[in-house]
């Protein structure tokens, strides 16, 4: 599929109007793009016995969750509060069916309460969690997350499978954990793995097939099994806005896997997938203002660079600073302007507050229309792990999120945080 153009992100006049009304920086979500991505995933899972989930950690706002729910997409939550967010967005409690699955390696804060009170399906990723559930008096169904020994994220820090990954129980230990759960009165009703969204599409296709085959080896020993999750992993191309991602080919993989796993189990099993990034990445952009343009000079320590200083920082979009991740950058009002190499840097009191880095986290000037003070700059494809990973570092309030519909209406769905919001936690 091809993602629809970012209509609001390319409209310089609209962005100036929004900046005047809401200030900068701000996030703008394109509802049409989000719905197109949801439809692309749902169309691959509308076969008998196949179900899509949304890994809501990518962007957990209620507005996003309601879009998922209206499309029949279930939820993968990773904390007790994410469970409560999903419940408030209208998802059902209980585990029959398990509209909300709680995936964790550790029960922290209210995660155990979410299992006991809301009745959601716990997806355990560590053997000790079975003992934790037993100690809490839980005797309901569980899902077991396994580490299949392969898989990777878009960078090494995001590995979700293999010896370097903390997630899940090593696949050869799965039956031992099942036996411990059964002894404690719990039934393992789902097997789960996640191989990451790092690979190119052809590799993903092969990895999903490989994962289904690995599951087929152990499924017969899980007599209470009702479902198998192949995780997420559909990649998003951050560099190429026109990338054609052939998601429709995945329907064949999912149908084939569902039939094979049901055959080896001797009964009909539900097959699940749970993308996060793919649904939301292209649907939101961060809009920021260029506050100054300045130069450093070359000397014995290195080459001089031109800095475009902007009012957004890694408190708003941390991925470039954390991973060296690439986000496309445009200046909507600078069309036709001569390009030059520019380093885009933010306002925070940190040398690492830079948006143009390579995968070694070194400065990498970007060829952009030469920016001028006052220009609006757009950082694209920030819907996944953008606002969701925002922080209050330097006591900066999180930027507002705006929602753009195809008819041109724009409404805020989170407001800009104030110092009163931040200090409220210190009261008492």
- Dig out the tokens for 254 from the structure: 């999912």
- Phi/psi for 343 (5° steps) reads -100, 125
Q: How many residues does the chain have?
A: 428
- Report, as residue numbers or ranges, the catalytic residues: 349
DSSP state at residue 4: P
Give the 3-state secondary structure of residue 121.
strand
- Report the distance separating Cα 328 and Cα 346, nearest Å: 16
- Report the distance separating Cα 361 and Cα 394, nearest Å: 22
Exposure of 12 in the CB half-sphere (CA atoms within 13 A): 10
Name 188's bridge partners: 142
- Report the distance separating Cα 118 and Cα 209, nearest Å: 34
| DSSP letter for each residue of 227-264 | EEE--------SS-TT----GGGHHHHHHHHHHHHHHH
Quote the strand ranges of 267-409, DSSP E. Answer: 270-273, 284-295, 306-310, 329-330, 339-345, 366-369, 376-379, 401-404
- Report the distance separating Cα 194 and Cα 161, nearest Å: 7
Radius of gyration of the CA atoms of the chain, in A? 23
b (16+ CB within 10 A) / e for 123-138:
bbbbeebbebbbeeeb
User: CA-CA distances (angstroms) from residue 103 to 153, 176, 329, 403?
Assistant: 18, 19, 34, 29
> Tokens 């192949």 belong to which residue?
230
- Report the distance separating Cα 383 and Cα 346, nearest Å: 19
Helix (H) or strand (E) holding 369: strand 366-369
CB-based contacts of 117: which residues, under 8 Å, 6+ apart?
none
């Amino acid at each position: 599929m091809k993602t629809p153009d970012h209509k609001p992100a390319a409209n310089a006049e609209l962005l100036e109007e929004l900046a005047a009304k809401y200030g900068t920086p701000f996030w703008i979500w394109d509802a049409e793009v989000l719905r197109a991505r949801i439809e692309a995933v749902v169309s691959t899972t509308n076969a008998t016995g196949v179900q899509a989930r949304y890994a809501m950690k990518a962007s957990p706002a209620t507005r996003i969750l309601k879009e998922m729910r209206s499309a029949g997409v279930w939820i993968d939550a990773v904390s007790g509060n994410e469970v409560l967010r999903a419940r408030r967005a209208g998802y059902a409690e209980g585990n029959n069916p398990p509209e909300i699955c709680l995936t964790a390696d550790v029960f922290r804060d209210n995660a155990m309460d979410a299992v006991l009170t809301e009745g959601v399906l716990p997806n355990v990723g560590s053997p000790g969690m079975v003992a934790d559930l037993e100690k809490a008096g839980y005797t309901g169904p569980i899902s077991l997350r396994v580490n299949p020994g392969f898989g990777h994220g878009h960078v090494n820090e995001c590995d979700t499978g293999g010896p370097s990954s903390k997630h899940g129980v090593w696949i050869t230990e799965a039956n031992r954990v099942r036996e411990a759960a059964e002894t404690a009165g719990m039934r393992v009703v789902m097997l789960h793995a996640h191989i990451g969204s790092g690979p190119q599409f052809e590799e993903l296709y092969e990895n999903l097939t490989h994962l289904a085959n690995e599951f087929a080896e152990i499924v017969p020993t899980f007599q209470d099994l009702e479902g198998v999750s192949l995780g997420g992993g559909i990649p998003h191309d951050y560099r190429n806005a026109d990338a054609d991602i052939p998601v429709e080919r995945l329907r064949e993989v999912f149908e084939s896997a569902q039939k094979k796993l049901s055959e080896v189990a001797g009964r009909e099993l539900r097959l699940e997938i749970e993308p996060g990034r793919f649904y939301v990445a292209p649907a939101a952009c961060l809009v920021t203002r260029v506050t100054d343009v300045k130069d450093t000079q070359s000397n014995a320590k290195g080459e001089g660079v031109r800095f475009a200083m902007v009012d957004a920082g890694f408190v708003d979009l941390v991925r470039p600073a954390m991973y060296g991740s690439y986000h496309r950058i445009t200046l909507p009002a600078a069309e036709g302007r001569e390009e030059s190499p520019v380093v885009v840097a933010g306002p925070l009191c940190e040398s690492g507050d830079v948006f143009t880095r390579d995968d070694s986290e070194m400065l990498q000037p970007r060829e952009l229309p030469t920016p001028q003070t006052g220009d609006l700059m757009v950082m694209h494809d920030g819907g996944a792990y953008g606002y969701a990973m925002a922080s209050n570092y330097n006591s900066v309030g999180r930027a507002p999120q705006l929602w753009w519909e195809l008819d041109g209406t724009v409404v805020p769905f989170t407001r800009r945080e104030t110092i009163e919001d931040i200090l409220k936690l210190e009261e008492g």
